[in-house]
């Protein structure tokens, strides 16, 4: 039995799409951060879609592993570079983005 219901997963998917769209439309403000957020939102969205499909049809979609590994690899690489100080910038307040990243991380851990 799933710990998620379809309506909640659809809301999560919509929120992830908004995060993804915001990252894409603000890419030039901070490309490395927005690219990382974009990739994480796409991965979490794929998990949400896969879970919805599984609940609705009791089927699994085509193997999403390659897509997920690719997007996580890119996001992970950018975060490692950030930790090393590569690409760090002094740009305004990131509290809102940090909160969104925390949500994405929670979704990744719990949908996996």
Structure token pair of residue 104: 């994405």
Q: Are 70 and 38 in contact (CB under 8 A)?
A: no
Answer whether residue 39 shows pLDDT above 80. yes
In-domain check, residue 38: yes
| pLDDT at site 90 | 53
Is residue 1 included in any domain, yes or no?
A: no
For residue 78, what are the contacts with CB-CB under 8 A and spacing of at least 6? Answer: 32, 35, 36, 87
Give the count of domains, the chain.
1
Domain span holding position 57 = 6-111
- pLDDT tens per residue across span 2-33: 677 888 889 889 988 988 999 899 888 888 88
């Amino acid at each position: 039995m799933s710990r998620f219901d379809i309506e909640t997963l659809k809301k999560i998917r919509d929120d992830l799409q908004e995060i993804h769209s915001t990252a894409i439309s603000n890419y030039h403000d901070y490309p490395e951060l927005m690219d990382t957020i974009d990739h994480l939102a796409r991965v979490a969205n794929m998990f949400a879609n896969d879970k919805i499909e599984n609940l609705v049809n009791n089927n699994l979609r085509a193997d999403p592993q390659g897509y997920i590994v690719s997007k996580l690899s890119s996001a992970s690489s950018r975060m490692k570079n950030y930790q090393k100080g590569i690409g760090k910038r002094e740009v305004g307040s990131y509290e809102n983005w940090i909160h969104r990243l925390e949500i994405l991380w929670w979704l990744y851990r719990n949908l996996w």
